[in-house]
Structure 1
């Protein structure tokens, strides 16, 4: 159908990236339509059984490898010859790209439990053939999943496909892809607990801590042949265990201890008023939003002020004079902007105005 053995065929709005040899057998291709044409970064024919297309994505670029695996009637050398360039094509993709392998892999996979993390539990086959085992090995080594068996399929009587117009026994399927940022690995950092060092002012606490450390640490000459790293880990664990029992931890003060249900209610009302103002910017909606915002500001300031007064009273009554005056001076000074300084090439200190001039010159 296509005159070029390897190249691009464009007919009005339908570019076809295809690769095959002069016999026009086998070959793989991509049909790119619509706005996706503007997002194509490149296309690379690998051999007569695979090619690669790279598309610019929203967050990450997408590298798609289209393949046609030898069937079971082929010998082992042909299948080995197929997976070797597939491995190289996958490795050649940038690390941060979304990598997808599509096409006809001539594989069957069953529903065995040991392959569940790779193949899922919705396979339509009862046995796994040799191509299926090779596919599972490849997917597992790349931390990939076989999505044709990973999700529940629509019953066949409701499935709608488009018959191929290229005189093939396959069906063309249209897929819409959307990119989202994964939050699975976004683990929130938790600050390690701090020991209450103020308790070391009491002699009984110091005595208990010293006795616990002496009892936990190994005797002299013990663990001589142990690696230095392992020995240090054991000593550190013993010291931490003794400190946890004798010194204990400091209870962290929760941020915004003044924020209660009343504050949450006025915040929700202000947010709802802002939504109405943005949706329909009438004078009434604008005035309602300003009123709710003023109520929220006054309530939050009052809560914060009362909490600060309570803390100062507690410090004064407990005779923590240093903390009391430090808190009092900080509240009197108010917000103090941080001074920006940097060094010039001669080692001199540049203050705020000079720093702004340097920033402007570097832009």
Structure 2
């Protein structure tokens, strides 16, 4: 009954897609297997993974035939490993239960279709990719180039900063003719800066989730490596168990980071509603600017400013032993104060002297 309702719903959706140029459906239904029987005509191809059609597969074929559509997933010959779209929990049984159905008029627009097993999508299903050729009349519009933001945070790395400076000096010195006017000189310098920055720094990628930091990038890489290990023919049960544990760990980490970010947003909303502007802007500044190192500078005894990190460390290394051992400078600066005068020890005057 449920499957019959799904078929009715899909039929109503397809009838509402009259103005759509290329009607196309993609999805999964439990135990929907399309076989290689030749009685279904052009609706089904000859290269299915299964030999016999299941009852749900018959419903899919009836739906496609009623809507003048074609099951394009069975029209292309591939290896069996590239036809299976679902892997059972026993890691041995593979079925083809995900299909792409397209309008019969545009069936020739599908140039290829196969299963993509590489991407880790946290599912027992594989991705199904189809290569489709479209014939659309696109209006000629003037291309507008958007100016991206350079990732200047990479300049904090000394290696990146040196590479950028070397490339910039090379671009500024490679010009054979020197510009005469100020405008030409500025254009030459601006072009050199932009070229060196694009090559050595790159543009900043938009971040949808602020909480997605370096730790969140390492965990998925480890999980993807474990997933690729399970795709090999020599995969063992221990590899599969390790992949499941890493998948759970990644979900836990993402949930923890997202909840922490949500609590920070709730605190900001609470401070805003209570009109506590001081703490509100302090938290905003802390979240947007992040951690900042202190100034790496120091002054010598004669007052000269030292900015080199190694020399600053050397000065502090010389200062602390002298301070702890009580050197001449420290003893002169922190000499003990004079003892307080005790008024009780001084002789008190007698009555006759007062008279």
Sort the TM-score into its range (normalised by shorter chain): under 0.3
Normalized per residue, which structure has more helix?
2
Report which of the two has the higher share of strand. 1
Relative to the length of structure 2, the TM-score reads 0.27
Q: Which has the higher contact order (CA 8 A, sep 6+)?
A: 2
Question: Which has the higher Rg, Structure 1 or Structure 2?
Answer: 2
- The alignment's TM-score, normalised by the length of structure 1, stands at 0.26
